[in-house]
Structure 1
Amino acid sequence: MMRSFQRISGSATLPDGLRGGVVAIGNFDGVHRGHQVVLERALQEAARHGVPALVLTFEPHPRTVFQPDTPLFLLTPPPMKARLLAELGFDAVVEQAFTREFAELDAERFVMQMLSSDLGVSHVVTGFDFHFGKNRQGGPAFLMEAGARHGFGVTLVDPFRDEGAEIVSSSRIRGLLSEGEVAQAAGLLGYRYTVEAEVGHGKQLGRTLSFPTANMALPETNSLKYGIYAVRFRRADGTLHDGVASFGRRPTVDTDGAPLLETFLFDFTGDLYWQTCRVSLFAYLRGEEKFDGLDALVAQMKRDEAEARALLASVTPLSPLDRAIAF
C-alpha cells in the first residue's frame, strides 16, 4: 500500500499538493476487473505526466439515495474501497458526499466547480457510459466538449468483458456472492472477495467445543449466501491465518440470532476482541445446516476444517491485487 494514500472528504478539501492530477471518476463498487481497466488507464496517464493519480467517487452510493427502500449489497464499503485503491497505486480517493441536493447540480456546474475549480484536473478517465449532473444531463460527448473548454483531457474506456465475452459488472458479482459462488466472483473481481469488520463477543460456545471463533457482524445489506467457507483471516497487525468461517444464523444453537461471520483460525490462540480484521473468502464448502446435537455439529466442523486446510494449501494469487489482499 502506498504510504501516503489519503481519503479526502469532498472535493473542496483537496490539499494543494494533489491538484492538477489525473482523476478517475465512478462509483467503483467492488473495484472489479472492469473498474481496474479504467483505473489502470488513469494510473498510466498520471505516470506519463508525473502528476498525482486520484479517484473521485460518491458516498453513499447514489442508488441508496434515489431508492432508499431498496437495500443495496455494497461489495466494498468506503474503507475497503480505499484500501483497494491504495494497493493499486493511487495517491488519494475523494469521497464526495452524494445527497439529493448534490444530485441537483447541473452538468456544467459539476465540471466548473468540482473538476476545474476544486480538483484542478489535468485529465479525466471514466467509463464510456458515465453520466453526471441533474437528470444525468452530462454524458460522454458533453464531458469531452467541457474538457476542451476548460483545458483538461478526457479518456473514455470501453466496457470490459470477461473470458466468456460477458460484461463484468458489480450487480453480476453481487448475484454470484448471493449464490455462494465465491470462486466465480473472484474471477470477476480479480481478487478474493474480502470483508472487514471489528471482532466482537459472541456466546463463546465455540470455545467450549474446541473451535473458538472470531465473530464479526457484517452490514445488514450484505447478502452473501449463508454457509461454510474456506477463508484467509488477516489480523489488525497484518498477520495472516488460514481458517474456516460460518456465515449465518447458527440454526443448531441459536434460533433467533442475527447473522454473524464466525471464523475459526487454524493454529492460533490469542485475543482478537475489538480488532478490525479482514476475511477473504476462497471457497464455499457447504450450506448452513441444523444438526441433531452438538456431537454431530463438532464432527462436521472437523470435516470442514480438514477440507479447508487441504484447499487453502494449494491456492495461488489471482493477481498482484489478490496477493496484496489475501496472501
Structure 2
Amino acid sequence: MTMPSFSLAVLNDAPAAFRGAVLAIGNFDGMHEGHQAVLAAAEAEAQHLSAPCVILTFEPHPRSFFAPATPLFRLTPAALKASVAAAHGISGMLVARFDAAFAATEAEEFVRAVLVEKLAARHVVTGYDFHFGHQRRGTPDFLKRQGVLNAFGVTVVDKHGDEAGAVSSSRIREALREGRVEEARELLGWDFSLVGRVIAGDKRGRDLGFPTANMALNATCGLRHGIYAARYTRPDGSVHDGVASYGRRPTFDNGAPLLETFLFGFSGELYGEMGLVSLIGWIRGEERFDSAEALISRMHEDAAAARAILAARPQRDLDRRIAAAWPRVERQAEAAGLA
C-alpha cells in the first residue's frame, strides 16, 4: 500500500515546508476518536486553505514531567501516534521537547515564538480542554484572542463522546487494565497496538512448539496480563496473525512482564527488529499450570480461539493504513531520537 509523504521531526528541526501550515495541537495520547475529531477539523481547514496539515505534540507527556513519581500508562509513544496521523493523511508531526524550560514558557511567549515566528501558523485547531503555557494559562479563549491579534485562525473542537461520557485516554486505559480490548478499540477507532524491539528469550516457547517474538514493554504499561488474539506488523510492512501473551509466566519463572507473540505459520528470525503488535481480542487471563503438558494443551486452545477471533475481525481500512505507515514512521522516530 502506498502512503502519502509524511515527516516526523522535533520542533527545533521543523521542516521549512511546514511554515504556514494548519496546526492541530495537543498531547494526543491515544489518538482516539476525540483526537481524530480534532484532526478532521484541521484537515478540513487545511484543504480549504491549500496548506499542509501538521500535528504539534509534546514528549514526554506533560503529566510524566510534572509527576515523575506517578507512573503514566502511555497509550501511544511518538512513533505510534505519528503512524495514526499518517494513516489519516496528515502531512507530518512536530514534537516539542517538554522540559523545565518549556514548562516555564508563558502562554504569550509560546504563541509568539512557536506559532507565529517559527511556524507562521495559518490556523490552529485544538480540543475543548487543551491548555498550554506556564501554569496552564493558555486557555482555548486565550488562544482565540491571540489568533485575532496575530492573524491566524483558531478552531476549538467540542467534546466528543457517547452515552457513557466523553471519549478519553483515561477511559481507554481503564478498559485495557481490565483486558477489554474490544471496548478500547471502539473508543480508539483502531486496534490498540504496542511497539517494541524483539529480544532474545530463554527459547522456552520454541521447546513447547510455540516460538515467540518477545518484547520487554515500558514498565508503566498497565495492560492486563493475559492472552490475546493479535496481529504483528514487521518492519517490511508484512502483517501476520497470531496469539500474544502478556505477563510473568507463572508456570515457569514468574519473572518480569513480557509480551510474547506467536505468529501463525511463520518460521523466520525476528530478533532485533522493531515490531508492532495489535491486540484484536481478549481470550483469557494469565494462569499457572501444573505441568508443561497442561500448558501446551491450553496453548493449542488459545491458538484456535485466536484464529476464530481474527477470522471474525478482519483488518479495517484505518488499521491497514496504520500498519502500512508504521515501519517508515518508526525509522523516522529513531532518526529523530524519538523511538
Q: TM-score, normalised by structure 1?
A: 0.96
In 2: Cα distance, 1:165 partner to 1:287 partner: 26
Q: 5 Å matches for 1:56-75?
A: 56-75=56-75
Kept after mapping to 1: 8 A contact 2:230/2:242: yes
Question: Which residue among 275, 278, 284 is the counterpart of 2:276?
Answer: 278
**SS of aligned partner of 1:283:** strand
Match of 1:321 in 2: 318
Kept after mapping to 1: 8 A contact 2:4/2:89: no
Match of 2:250 in 1: 251
**Does residue 136 of structure 1 match 2:120?**
no
Q: TM-score, normalised by structure 2?
A: 0.93
Higher RCO, 1 or 2 (CA under 8 Å, sep at least 6)? 2
**Per-residue CA shift, 1:243-289, capped at 9, x if unaligned?**
1111000000113x211011111111111111111111011100101
Q: 5 Å matches for 1:102-251?
A: 102-162=102-162, 164-251=163-250
**Does residue 15 of structure 1 match 2:10?**
no
Q: How many residues are matched?
A: 323
**SS of aligned partner of 2:63:** helix
Match of 1:97 in 2: 97
**Per-residue CA shift, 1:43-93, capped at 9, x if unaligned?**
111111111110110110000111010000000011111111111111111
**SS of aligned partner of 1:313:** helix
Deviation at 1:3, TM superposition (A): 4.4
AA at the equivalent of 1:5: F
AA at the equivalent of 1:323: R
**SS of aligned partner of 2:198:** strand
Match of 2:37 in 1: 37
Match of 1:302 in 2: 300
What percent identity do the matched residue pairs reach? 51
Deviation at 1:317, TM superposition (A): 4.2
Deviation at 1:316, TM superposition (A): 3.4
In 1: Cα distance, 2:14 partner to 2:276 partner: 29
Deviation at 1:136, TM superposition (A): 1.2
Pairwise CA RMSD: 1.3
In 2: Cα distance, 1:233 partner to 1:35 partner: 25
Deviation at 1:4, TM superposition (A): 2.6
Deviation at 1:323, TM superposition (A): 3.0
Give the stretch that moved more between structures: 215-224 or 233-242. Answer: 233-242
AA at the equivalent of 2:72: L
**Per-residue CA shift, 1:11-60, capped at 9, x if unaligned?**
x4222221001000000001000000001110111111111110110110
**Per-residue CA shift, 1:91-121, capped at 9, x if unaligned?**
1111001112211111111110010001100
**SS of aligned partner of 1:306:** helix
Kept after mapping to 1: 8 A contact 2:234/2:275: yes
Kept after mapping to 2: 8 A contact 1:226/1:288: yes
Kept after mapping to 2: 8 A contact 1:2/1:91: no
In 2: Cα distance, 1:179 partner to 1:45 partner: 38
In 2: Cα distance, 1:212 partner to 1:260 partner: 14
AA at the equivalent of 1:95: V
Match of 1:6 in 2: 7
In 2: Cα distance, 1:50 partner to 1:324 partner: 23
Kept after mapping to 2: 8 A contact 1:2/1:90: no
**SS of aligned partner of 1:125:** strand
**Does residue 288 of structure 1 match 2:278?**
no
**Per-residue CA shift, 1:138-180, capped at 9, x if unaligned?**
1111111110110100000001012x25100001101100110
Kept after mapping to 1: 8 A contact 2:86/2:322: no
Kept after mapping to 1: 8 A contact 2:21/2:52: yes
**SS of aligned partner of 2:305:** helix
**SS of aligned partner of 2:165:** coil
**SS of aligned partner of 2:288:** coil
Kept after mapping to 1: 8 A contact 2:197/2:215: yes
Deviation at 1:326, TM superposition (A): 5.7
Kept after mapping to 1: 8 A contact 2:215/2:258: yes
AA at the equivalent of 1:324: R
